[in-house]
Amino acid sequence: MTFVIIGGDAAGMSAASKSKRNDPTIEVIVLEKTTDVSYLISGLSYNIADPHRKVDDLVVRPIQEFKDKLGIDVRLDHKVERIDRINKKVKGRSAAGREFELAYDKLLIASGARARRLSVPGIDPPRVVTLRSLEDGRRLKQLISSRIPKRSVIVGAGYIGLEMADAFYRRDVSVEIFDIESRLLPWMPSEMARIVQMEMESKGVKFHLESRLLKVEKKENKLCATFTTGTARADILLIAIGILPNSEIAAQAGLVLGARDAISVDTTMCASDPDIFAAGDCADMVHVVTGQKVLIPLGLIANRGGWAVGDNVTGKYTAVPGIVGTAVFEVFNMEVARTGLSFSEAQEAGFDAVETHIHSHSRALAYPGIQDIYVHLVADRSSDRLLGANVVGREGAAHRINSVATALHAKMGVREFYQCDMAYAPPFGPVWDPLLIAANQLIKKM
């Protein structure tokens, strides 16, 4: 059997390794359009922050290991351009311009996503950048070390934008962030978002909200970016306004697209063709809380999807019942974590949403080094069901979110969650964990 995989990052290489480990007799061919496979893209901003680290440190496993140890046929510089479902073939072109054609028995589309671009004048490399690949990272790092930029402008205050603000700061590059939204981190209460914003502003980051980029010009060796709210001069301009799934070849092949134009898959990651699977940032998933399809591009989801495909193409049934969108990032000294639905997402999904947010502490009051911690919980008034959470703080926020994520998977009610017997010791929190304090407050509102 020939198992062809389009895309050699998290989902693709997970599926390749898993299928080959399950059944060493199958032929696994990975077609990767770049020259990198299996890398930790989520580590890019942290890597850029550190001039002493090479971008290639982010490679999880070298290509040669996939080839030699696992017998996976990894073909770099191979861009698939067309899927012929009738004849079960993929067709494409190598970077050198050579056409190729390859038959498959099972196909995985793990083509990932690309940075969303803006169609305004002047968005030109090398100094206007996006960040999605190791190659993007290498170019940006090279730019920083060669041109020693003093000022940056970041368009977009999402995860990447905020993480890169931190990275630029560490490289002594000043940061101005512009975003079209009226506030930061719109999925959490504005009071909590303000904590993160204030932390960043204390480091000199300037925010310009409700700002749309109109054009970029070069003036006296500087980039001059004009926004609806004013202009900013910079040496580097980063566009970080989200992603678009690379689902075009799937659509052209007549496969059904789902949430946000990602490839629609069932819980076995099978697309609308029994021999074609999709996983990672190009595929949708069921959100456990709403039961709706969503596209949430995150590393664990890609890996999990890839593993499931590796099983399913080798006769081992593995389903991924769904996700809850648990995510965390670190910006300066703040841990910012979320899971499940925001208040407005809960309302949109038809829940009788009720929310609360509380301020507590990361350690017991009598313990040195105490920090603030903020918890936001959302629940459904009529069913009592917990729907989502945000946790923000200098310590203890990242891992706390996983208790709520677990509760969401278990479809726990707030009252049930409040009864959870959580760990307590003075270095790690108050007697009543901040999550329990928040749950108690939420119960009072219900």
Residues that bind a second copy (CB under 8 A): 10, 40, 42-43, 46-47, 50, 53, 57-58, 60, 288, 298-301, 303, 320-330, 335, 337, 339, 364-368, 396, 398-403, 405-407, 409-410, 412, 416-417, 419-428, 431-433, 435
Q: How far is the CB of 177 from a second copy (least distance, A)?
A: 19
Q: Which CB sits closer to a second copy, 130 or 390? A: 390
301's enclosing H/E stretch is: helix 299-312
290-303 b/e with 16+ CB inside 10 Å = b? beebbbbbbbebbb
Task: Provide DSSP, 75-104.
Answer: ETTEEEEEEETTTTEEEEEETTS-EEEEE-
Tell me how far apart the alpha carbons of residues 329 and 106 are, in angstroms, rounded to a whole number: 36
Residues 6+ apart with CB under 8 A from 72: 16, 17, 20, 28, 29, 30, 66
User: CB-wise, 153 or 397, nearer to a second copy?
Assistant: 397
| Cβ nearer to a second copy, comparing 123 with 436 | 436
Residue 270 or 404 having the CB closest to a second copy = 404
The distance of closest approach from Cβ of residue 429 to a second copy in the complex, given in angstroms and rounded to an integer, is 8
Please tell me the distance from the alpha carbon of residue 132 to that of residue 41, in angstroms, as a whole number: 7
Output the smallest distance, CB 322 to a second copy, in A. Answer: 8
Report in angstroms how near the CB of residue 239 gets to a second copy at its nearest.
21
- Reported residue count of the chain is 446
To a second copy, the closest distance from the beta carbon of 441 in angstroms equals 14
Yes or no: say if 11 and 269 are a contact pair by the CB < 8 Å rule.
no
Minimum Å distance from CB 442 to a second copy?
Answer: 16
Token pair in block for residue 119: 């169609």
Toward a second copy, which CB reaches closer, 26 or 49? Answer: 49
Pick 61 or 75: Cβ nearer a second copy: 61
Q: How far is the CB of 68 from a second copy (least distance, A)?
A: 20
**H/E segment holding residue 379:** strand 372-380
Q: Which is nearer to a second copy, 252 or 267 (CB)?
A: 267
Under 8 Å between Cβ of 424 and 433 = yes
Beta bridge partners of 30: 5, 74
